[in-house]
Amino acid sequence: MKRRDFLTSVVALGVASSLPTAQAEVINGGQPWEPGDINTPPAPPRKGGLQYFTQHEFDTVAIIAERFIPADELSLGGQEAGCATFIDRQLAGDYGNAVALYRLGRFVKGTPQQGPQSPLTPAQRYRQGLAALDRATRSQFGKNFIALNPQQQEHILHAMEADRYDLGPQVETKVLFELLLQNVREGFLADPIYGGNKDMTSWKMIGFPGARYDFRDLLAKKGQKLNIIPTSLIDNTL
């Protein structure tokens, strides 16, 4: 046995032997659960109003979401699906304030694999980046981003993805693009309780059943199309 493996097994054995003996309860006849019995569900979405974005910022992110995920016969687009609402709520909370990230510095630009090295929170990146985007498009076209036609918007987003669109010295263009793309994807695929994925449009498109507790009634249907209606956490909080 290698030394590392041996030490790991010794530590695990020591921890296991020091744990108190617990009395386990055997449950027969199914799980003790009733539909709607959720002790700590996420807070249901607040109707109306913005939590972090200004209206102009919200409209800009909604248009970007639509360019990333255009509507078609399979699902709603990113704008109507509520991706901007999802992002607005996330930026107003722990994610936007980067509470889980180390931010005391020293910050040194690293490799792309190391991720962003910056004192800025995601919320600050959005505010700074969206303002820089408008300054760049006003300089080039005389208009804010949302006033451009769809072809111009897509051209700019492609340039941002390739890191070939200058947003000024304070904004890392490709980092901003990747942040937008990541958050739009999350909003499109997340449970609707968080503000996006309106009517579970993405779940219906890909056949995802959602927050379904039990599949035992479907185990015998092998090779059959199940046609499961997705279930959202929001269904259990109304």
pLDDT of 60-101, one tens digit each? 999 999 999 999 999 999 999 999 999 999 999 999 999 888
> What pLDDT, on the 0 to 100 scale, is given for residue 17?
46
* Interatomic CA distance for residues 235 and 26, integer angstroms: 30
Overall domain count for the chain:
1
Let me know if residue 36 belongs to a domain. Answer: no
Let me know if residue 227 belongs to a domain. Answer: no
- The model's confidence at residue 16, banded by pLDDT at 50, 70 and 90, is very low
> What pLDDT, on the 0 to 100 scale, is given for residue 116?
73
Contact 203, 76 (CB under 8 A): no
What is the pTM assigned to this prediction?
0.77
Task: Provide the β-strand partners of residue 231.
Answer: 210
Instruction: Say if residue 22's pLDDT is above 70.
Output: no
Let me know if residue 50 belongs to a domain. Answer: no
pLDDT in tens, 187-211: 999 999 999 999 999 999 998 988 8
Instruction: Say if residue 41's pLDDT is above 60.
Output: no
Let me know if residue 30 belongs to a domain. Answer: no
pLDDT in tens, 117-128: 788 999 999 999
Let me know if residue 13 belongs to a domain. Answer: no
Let me know if residue 179 belongs to a domain. Answer: yes
Higher pLDDT, 30 or 213: 213
- Mention every residue, 6+ apart, whose C-beta is less than 8 A from residue 204: 75, 230
* Interatomic CA distance for residues 86 and 103, integer angstroms: 24
Q: Domain span at residue 133? A: 55-102+109-206
Token code pair at residue 96: 């936007």
Task: Provide the β-strand partners of residue 210.
Answer: 231
Let me know if residue 141 belongs to a domain. Answer: yes
- The model's confidence at residue 15, banded by pLDDT at 50, 70 and 90, is very low
> What pLDDT, on the 0 to 100 scale, is given for residue 3?
43
Let me know if residue 83 belongs to a domain. Answer: yes
pLDDT in tens, 139-183: 999 999 999 999 999 999 999 999 999 999 999 999 999 999 999
Mean predicted confidence (pLDDT) in 29-49: 56
Mean predicted confidence (pLDDT) in 12-32: 51
Instruction: Please state, rounded to an integer, the average pLDDT across all residues of the chain.
Output: 83
b/e map of 25-58 (b: 16 or more CB within 10 Å)? eeeeeeeeeeeeeeeeeeeebeeeeeebbeeebb
